[in-house]
């Protein structure tokens, strides 16, 4: 059995049993524990498991990241409204760091055709492909390890690339925004890239649909005071948005699809 097939079996096993041990897996597949450790490390990079002493556990709760395809489909119309509002905040000639993730991809799609003459630095292969043919736009990909599924670039090389640039705006996609716990995300390596990007931009715009409000996920990225703008389709009086405004954040609330439908029915 090759590594790809073995890792798929291990992924299926951990989803059912919730916990697996290196020794048991090594005996089952007749390979060394070091080989199993490498398999588990690869699955951890995909966000499938978390390594623990002697084995790995399935990710649940704050740790469980939906697949990229699922996130693209979830609240797609709402994300389009948010992305349009974010793109409206980007001025001609800006140097822009554009995050990875489904909402940032929607922002890239919204920027197409605006002819803003941007320089876009991104760890997202998908965002880069959206903008590569945009007139007067320069696209720079960070280096780094390509994360499967997400097609984001992660690791020290990506973080080092960001450290060499000074940019006007960073558009960040996140998994959670909480009034007390700040900005958070699922994946540790992606979160490190987000933190590095935040330090290289004069303005940080967080783009998040209303499902992210009040949510705390696994890895902390920033306190509310460290960002400048939140663009969301959430209720302006949501406790998280009230806390953000109290922290000096500019909150932009766009009409979500449900609001639009109610207005059209009048």
249 plus 147 within the same structural domain: yes
User: Which residues contact residue 215 at a Cβ distance below 8 angstroms, ignoring those fewer than 6 apart?
Assistant: 175, 176, 177, 178, 184
pLDDT for the residue 76 = 75
The answer to whether residues 52 and 86 belong to one domain is: no
Per-residue confidence (pLDDT) for residue 263, from 0 to 100: 41
Question: What does the alpha-carbon distance between residue 36 and residue 28 come to, in Å, rounded to a whole number?
Answer: 11
CATH code of residue 53: 1.10.10.10
Residues 121 and 48 occupy one common structural domain: no
Looking at residue 56, its pLDDT comes to 85
Give the structural domain span for 20: 3-59
Contact between 173 and 151 (Cβ < 8 Å):
no
Same domain membership, residue 94 and residue 147: yes
Q: Is residue 64 part of a domain?
A: no
Looking at residue 47, its pLDDT comes to: 67
- The confidence score (pLDDT) of residue 266 equals 41
Instruction: Give yes or no: residues 166 and 243 share one domain.
Output: yes
The answer to whether the pTM exceeds 0.75 is no
Q: How far apart are CA 39 and CA 207, in angstroms?
A: 34
User: Which stretches in the chain have pLDDT values below 70?
Assistant: 47, 59-75, 256-266
Task: Give dist(CA 16, CA 195) in Å, integer.
Answer: 34
pLDDT, one tens digit per residue, over 20-58 is: 899 999 999 999 999 999 999 888 777 677 787 788 877
**How many folded domains does the chain comprise?**
2
Q: For residues 163 and 154, what is the distance between their CA atoms, to the nearest angstrom?
A: 14
Measured CA to CA in angstroms, residue 31 lies from 37, 188, 225 at distances of 11, 29, 50
The rounded distance, in Å, linking the Cα atoms of 242 and 9 is 46
Q: Give pLDDT, residue 45.
A: 76
Residue 207 has a pLDDT of 96
């Amino acid at each position: 059995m090759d590594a790809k097939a073995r890792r798929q079996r291990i992924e299926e096993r951990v989803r059912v049993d919730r916990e697996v041990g290196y020794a048991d897996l090594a005996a089952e597949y007749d390979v060394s524990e070091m080989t199993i450790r490498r398999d588990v490390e690869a699955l951890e990079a995909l966000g499938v498991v978390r390594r623990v002493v002697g084995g790995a556990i399935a990710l649940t709760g704050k740790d469980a990241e939906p697949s990229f395809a699922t996130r693209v489909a979830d609240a797609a119309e709402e994300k389009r409204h948010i992305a349009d509002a974010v793109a409206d905040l980007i001025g001609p000639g800006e140097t822009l760091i554009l995050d990875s993730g489904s909402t940032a991809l929607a922002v890239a799609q919204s920027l197409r055709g605006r002819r803003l003459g941007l320089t876009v630095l991104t760890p997202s292969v998908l965002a880069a492909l959206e903008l590569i043919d945009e007139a007067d736009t320069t696209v720079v990909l960070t280096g780094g390890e390509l994360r499967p599924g997400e097609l984001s670039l992660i690791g020290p090389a990506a973080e080092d690339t960001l450290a060499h640039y000074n940019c006007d705006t960073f558009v960040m996609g996140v998994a959670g925004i909480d009034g007390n716990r700040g900005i958070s995300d699922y994946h540790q390596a992606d979160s490190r890239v987000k933190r590095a990007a935040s330090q290289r931009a004069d303005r940080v715009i967080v783009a998040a649909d209303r499902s992210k409000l009040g949510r705390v996920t696994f890895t902390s990225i920033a306190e509310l005071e460290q960002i400048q703008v939140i663009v969301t389709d959430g209720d302006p009086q949501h406790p998280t948005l009230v806390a953000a405004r109290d922290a000096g954040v500019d909150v932009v609330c766009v009409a979500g699809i449900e609001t639009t439908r109610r207005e059209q029915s009048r």
